A and B are shown apart, each in its own frame.
Chain A
Amino acid sequence: MTNQEQYKRTFDTVASSRMQKLEASDIMERRKKNFSFKGAAVALAAVLILISLFGAAYASDLGGIQSKVQVWYRGELTDVTLEITPEGSYTMEFTDENGNPVKQEGGGVAIGPFGKERPLTQDEILEHLNEPEVVYEDDGTVWVYYGAQKTEITDQFDEDGVCHVKLVGEGKPIYMTITYMEGYTTSGRKFPKPVK
């Protein structure tokens, strides 16, 4: 038996043993999208620093657990329903440009100067939702969205899958270092090191 045959046999056994068979009907019924916390790879360590750098959300009712707010989504200022828990997780629901319901979930913690963790506040989550977003489209193109701006970066990645983008908005410029499908880091002063 070759190495490859043994490798295939091994992972076939694992997959057959542990995956749950999916039904197409279940997937068709589940017309919602779940997203993980954008930029989560860098947010854990740097959220307190990053949050203060980015643009504002436009909250109309932040008094309750559930709020109606506007956030930038794929270049459009979008009305969303946002629910935030005391633990710092959020659920955001809205209807996209094609009329499909979209549900986005995420959350996180902030780490203070002495390493103490606390849940993200409502304001921090709102600011996070307006951070730049890197989108990998089905057709293989890659885009950066920031506020009303949309920039294609598909061909800008170097041999190591790293791309540098300078975003200029109303405030200070934002320097992004994007690692393909790994995440990104930002700085207000210079291009930071890529995500490892």
Chain B
Amino acid sequence: MRLPLEMLIEKYQKNLFAAALNICANYDDAQDAVQETFLQYYLSDKEFNDEEHLKAWLLRVAINKAKDLSRSLFRRRCVPLEELGEDIPFEDPADGRLFEEVMRLPEKYRIVIHLFYYEDLPVKEIAALLHTGESSVKMRLSRGRDLLKTILTEESDNDKSGTIQAYI
């Protein structure tokens, strides 16, 4: 099965952008990775078993494109973390801090954390998507959480709002 490009953009652009951003840490590159992903779908004749299969393919291609871009010698300038979260209308200030701390994680932890929490994927599917072992995914997930916990706990010592610990 295949779906019209318009429908895929409507349904999945945000998912792909969020995943690519976790690799690139750069809005322009993430946008390019998503555009390249949809272009690859359009140029491909690949048939999919179902929509879940199609979404997994889109995510894998977007992650791959984002990695290519982030490793390109001609990649866009690195955006300081402080700028990355600027002017985003977060519903709660704690969301802004969560975003900044997630983006501060090493990429290999960040993408696993993202696929787990945002895409709600089980470890097995994350491993298949990233073409790595389940034990490696579990390790990255655990270390990523530990790093978030350390950073946020340290910050919470200075910020007594008491909300930050809830991320752990």
Contacts and interface: CB of A to CB of B under 8 A. Distances in A.
Interface in A152-196: 157, 159-161, 180-183
Nearest to B134: A159
Interface of chain A, main secondary structure: mixed
Given A24-B9, A28-B42, A180-B132, A106 B72 contact: yes
Interface stretch (A10-18, A50-58, A64-72, A76-84): A10-18
A20 B72 CA distance: 22
A19 B131 CA distance: 27
Contacts of A24: 4-6, 9, 38
A24 B10 CA distance: 10
Interface in B99-113: 99, 102
Interface string B32-44: 0011101110111
Interface residues of A, number: 53
Contacts of B6: 24
Given A15-B17, A19-B34, A138 B40 contact: yes
Interface of B: 4-6, 9, 13-14, 17-18, 21, 27, 30-31, 34-36, 38-40, 42-44, 46, 57, 61, 63-64, 67-69, 71-74, 85, 87-91, 94-96, 98-99, 102, 114, 117-118, 120, 130-133, 135-136, 166-168
Given A19-B30, A40-B73, 15 more contacts: A10-B90, A11-B99, A14-B18, A18-B27, A19-B17, A19-B27, A19-B31, A19-B34, A27-B9, A34-B36, A36-B74, A105-B74, A106-B74, A139-B46, A157-B131
